[in-house]
Amino acid sequence: MTIKEASELTGVPSATIRYYEKEGLIPAIDRNEVGVRQIDDRIIRRINFVKTMRAAGMGIDILRRYIQLFDAKEDNEVQQRELLQEQLAIMEEKRDDLQFAIDHLTFKLENRAHMENAEAELRQLEKQHEEKGERGGDEN
Amino acid sequence: MTIKEASELTGVPSATIRYYEKEGLIPAIDRNEVGVRQIDDRIIRRINFVKTMRAAGMGIDILRRYIQLFDAKEDNEVQQRELLQEQLAIMEEKRDDLQFAIDHLTFKLENRAHMENAEAELRQLEKQHEEKGERGGDEN
DNA sequence: CTAACCCTTAAAGTTCACTTTAAGGCAAGT
DNA sequence: ACTTGCCTTAAAGTGAACTTTAAGGGTTAG
């Protein structure tokens, strides 16, 4: 399969596939005699995997580190667990943020008729959110 | 409240609060006689709202459009619904991607010992994803 | 033989969402 | 009066993740 066909199949632009290869997010792709990439199912799966993780908001650096551990021949279970658990926590928080945003929009769609203004809505939503968890941090 | 206090309270940097105001993501903030921002609860709520939506991955442009509708005096329910439902769909898809990524990492943490290599894992994960991937339409 | 398309690379450019810098103002403490 | 530490603005800079460009090569159709 050519890079263009792989691009059409995965929805990832050719230039991005080349970029992912260069960045080590997918394995080095086999070439034919003149240097043209020959993409197979294994690479397609890797592209889709990267696509999914990127869509989930995982950064390139962490994804690369993850994939390097993932592909390593040696046993690196402890390192893997550390990295994975860290990422898992970040993703779960992100999912919860997303769920809060979804709840907000859903609430808005369902209750718009009864709301006088934006402020009342935000107060209402906040009440719902507070029942679940605390947020914080600091920068200035 | 000063901008620094607001920053500490929300975890959003002062410069970012100014940037959000300039970009119309939060309302224009009242100033004192010499032009210093006086931030109240209403603004704090707005900052937190923007923070949540940004954390959920909503872009600045769409967020601004949403907030403009949200604050509008006129009745624009139809437009609001269109925009909101669109964004809701995007967020739900994102959440599902995130869940897939979480499932992948969780599966990996739990089953690493039994997996021979990366390829076997991806094929396994894909199988799990496909079983769930049938989009049962519950819309209303 | 030439044109149309695909492929290759390295490098430069773009977009987004901030973040930092530069230049100055106000108010309190020593 | 001076220093500290906050405030203001406009504008320039940053980092991430692509995306486009430039320059060239291979393969097939006319």
Residue matched to tokens 């402890």: A78
pLDDT tens per residue across span A26-46:
999 999 999 999 999 999 999
β-sheet bridge partners, residue A31: A37
Give the model's confidence band at A60: pLDDT under 50 very low, under 70 low, under 90 confident, else very high.
very high
Partner A contacted by B79 (CB < 8 A): no
> What per-residue confidence (pLDDT) applies to A128?
61
> Is residue B132 less than 8 Å (CB to CB) from chain A?
no
The answer to whether position B138 is within a domain reads no
Q: How far is the CA of B24 from the C1' of C18 (A)?
A: 15
Considering the domain architecture, whether residues A58 and A80 belong to the same structural domain is answered as no
CA of B114 to C1' of C13 (A): 46
Query: Where does a domain end: A71, A100, A124?
Result: A71
Q: Distance between CA atoms of A23 and B68, rounded to whole angstroms? A: 40
Name A residues 50-79 whose Cβ lies under 7 Å from strand D: 54, 59-61
Query: Based on the domain organization, do A58 and A107 belong to the same domain?
Result: no
Instruction: Put residue B57 in one of left, alpha, beta given phi > 0 → left and psi -120 to 50 → alpha.
Output: left
How many Cβ atoms sit within 10 Å of the Cβ of residue B39?
23
pLDDT value of residue B136:
30
Please check whether residue A95 is in contact with residue B95, taking contact to mean a CB–CB distance below 8 angstroms: yes
Residues A80 and A123 occupy one common structural domain:
yes
Cβ atoms of A128 and A107 within 8 Å: the answer is yes
Give the percent of chain B with pLDDT over 90: 41
Q: Point out which residues pair with B37 in neighbouring strands.
A: B31
| A91 Cβ contact list (under 8 Å, min separation 6) | A56, A57, A58, B98, B101, B102, B105
Instruction: Name A residues 29-88 whose Cβ lies under 7 Å from strand C.
Output: 35-37
Contact between A52 and B97 using a beta-carbon 8 Å cutoff: yes
Nucleotide closest to B36 measured between CA and C1': D7
Question: Which of A53, A88, A101 is facing B91, going by the closest CB pair?
Answer: A101
Those residues whose C-beta lies under 8 Å from the C-beta of residue A20, and which sit 6 or more positions away, are A12, A26, A47, A50
Contact at CB, B95 and A97, closer than 8 angstroms: no
Answer yes or no: do B61 and B98 share one domain.
no
The reply to whether B97 and B39 lie within a common domain is no
A106-127 residue pLDDT tens: 777 777 555 555 666 667 666 6
Give ipTM to 2 decimals.
Answer: 0.78
Would you say residue A31 lies in a domain?
yes
* Record: contact A105-B91, CB cut-off 8 A: yes
Strand C: positions under 7 A of a protein C-beta atom: 6-10, 16-21, 25-27
pLDDT of residue A112: 59
A and B: number of Cβ contacts within 8 A: 123
The mean-pLDDT minimum among A60-64, A65-69, B19-23 falls in A65-69
**pLDDT band per the 50, 70, 90 thresholds, residue A137:** very low
Residue B51 is assigned to a structural domain of this protein: yes
Are A139 and B85 a contacting pair at CB < 8 A? no
Query: Both B90 and B58 in a single domain?
Result: no
Does residue A140 fall inside a structural domain? no
Give the structural domain span for A54.
1-71
Query: Is it the case that residue A70 has pLDDT exceeding 80?
Result: no
B30 and B63 belong to one structural domain = yes
Q: Is residue B140 in a domain?
A: no
Q: In this structure, what CATH number is given to the domain that contains residue B60?
A: 1.10.1660.10
Which of A53, A71, A89 is the last residue before a domain boundary? A71
Domain-located, residue B7? yes
The reply to whether B113 falls in a domain is yes
Q: Are residues A91 and A126 in the same domain?
A: yes
Tell which of A71, A93, A108 closes a domain. Answer: A71
Question: What's the total number of domains in chain B?
Answer: 2
* pLDDT by position in tens, chain B (length 140): 999 999 999 999 999 999 999 999 999 999 999 999 999 999 999 999 999 889 888 899 999 998 888 787 777 778 877 887 888 888 888 888 878 877 877 777 777 555 555 666 667 666 666 655 443 323 33
Q: Report chain D positions within 7 A of protein CB atoms.
A: 6-10, 16-21, 25-27
Is the same domain home to B39 and B81?
no
Do B82 and B66 lie in one domain? The reply is no
Same domain, B67 and B82: no
Residues B86 and B128 in one domain: yes
> Within 10 Å of residue B131's Cβ, how many Cβ atoms?
8
Residue A139 belongs to a domain: no
Dist CA A47 CA B125 (whole Å):
14
